Amino acid sequence: MHPFQYQRASSPAQASAAVAAQPTAAFVAGGTSQLDLMKEGVLHPELLVDVTPLGLTSITPLEGGGLRLGAGVSNTAAALHPLVRQRYPAVSEALLAGASTQIRNMASLGGNPLQRTRCPYFRDPAQPCNKREPGSGCAALGGYNRVHALFGASDKCVATHPSDLAVALAALDAQVQTLGPGGPRVIPFTELHRLPGDTPQQDTTLAHGELITSLDLPAFNGRSHYLKVRERASYAFALVSCAVALEMEGKKIRRARVALGGVAHKPWRLPAAVETMLAGQKPSEKLFRAAAAQAFAEARPLEHNAYKIPMGRNLLVRALLETSGLQPLQGPAGTAFAASVGGVSGEVAAQ
């Protein structure tokens, strides 16, 4: 590991100023992903500013019925919080499906959506990677790209974003509260991450030194659910995942919001046209399959990841069926048992 300086933050403003003053400085909280990348020689920060002394560990109701999740709250604490499980089960399910208990106990909500891609070429300094070293090339384009993107990729990068929580937050229209060199800012969660374009090294729209202080969930009286397909039923990253938020009006869907994971450089919110297909309609498998077909109509598979298209369509249908109540959940809402399809057995891909 390269040598670095370590500093404990005394206030959000001081932490922001300290990181902003050094081009290679970074915040650190749980460090569950960041320290691995430093040990692997992928990241080389000269200064780490520890933001855990700032607290930011409260979960508080907002006026109007929303919920504010402090950026310092651990993934475990958020997943098990009664208000999160009751009002936003998709968030709890995504967190519980996202990692082992030990990692969840350390990882923070502010850091979770900022974790870097799991692309093996990004994590191997011996391989070319435009995200790690701009201009060096993308080894995944002509390499083994089984876990890579279907949407929004470029000729510079085809990596996917790994966070489960981020997919649920995108479907629920969460907002990100930050403090940076320019003062406080509110960012719609769907605008936090960016597509690779010509600058894949820039994962988010955050300015250097901009600190996430909380994640705000809006008032929501509908049904939400998160489903994840992975290589094995134990801790593993998603091949494809799906978060659904449905608001009902009688027996019809008043509003639908859907996001996919494991398919793009960012949580992939479905186009408005697809979500509009569901609005005003009575839930049915036929309707959901039509929406799923439209959702994947623009998918652009690589050499080894075309399997994600039928898998993603069928996962989306299942998530909609379970969220709408047409098909029972596999476990209690708000738990890992409801969230995970488990190891790949061909069931989801072949339906």
Question: What residue spans define the domains of the chain?
Answer: 224-350
Per-residue model confidence (pLDDT) at position 340: 67
Does the CA dihedral 308-311-313-315 come out positive or negative?
Answer: negative
Residues 49 and 74: their CA atoms lie apart, in Å, by 18
Superfamily of domain 224-350, CATH level 4 = CO dehydrogenase flavoprotein, C-terminal domain (3.30.390.50)
d(CA 4, CA 45): 7
**Residue 56, CA distances (Å) to 22, 73, 111, 162 in order:** 24, 7, 12, 24
Non-local (6+) Cβ contacts of 193 within 8 A are 113, 161, 166, 203, 204, 205, 265, 266, 267
Q: Give me the pLDDT at residue 36, please.
A: 93
pLDDT at 345 over 50: no
pLDDT above 90: percentage of residues in the chain:
91
Residue 159 has pLDDT above 70, yes or no: yes
Mean pLDDT of 34-52: 96
In the prediction, which pLDDT does 137 show?
Answer: 98
Q: With 50 as the cut, is the pLDDT of residue 344 above it?
A: no
Predicted local confidence at residue 143, as pLDDT: 97
Pairing relation of β-strands 59-61 and 183-188?
unpaired
Mean pLDDT of the chain: 95
Single pTM value for the model? 0.95
pLDDT on residue 351? 45
Query: Which whole number is the average pLDDT over 48-71?
Result: 97
Q: How confident is the model at residue 74 (pLDDT cuts 50, 70, 90)?
A: very high
* Percentage of the chain exceeding pLDDT 70: 97
pLDDT of residue 214: 98
Paired tokens of 73: 């709250």
Q: How confident is the model at residue 339 (pLDDT cuts 50, 70, 90)?
A: confident
Whether the per-residue pLDDT at 343 is higher than 90: the answer is no
Q: Which of 49-53, 200-204, 255-259, 337-341 has the lowest mean pLDDT?
A: 337-341
In this predicted model, what pLDDT tens digit does every residue of 207-218 receive, in sequence order? 999 999 999 999
Reported as a pLDDT band with limits 50, 70 and 90, residue 235 is confident
- What pLDDT, on a 0 to 100 scale, did the predictor assign at position 280? 97
250 against 232, higher pLDDT: 250
Q: In what order do the strands lie in the sheet with 238-249?
A: 268-269, 252-261, 238-249, 223-230, 340-343
Length of the chain: 351
pLDDT of 342 reads 55
Label residue 341 by pLDDT band (50, 70, 90): low
| Tokens 């003062």 sit on residue | 183
Confidence band of 298 (pLDDT split at 50, 70, 90): very high
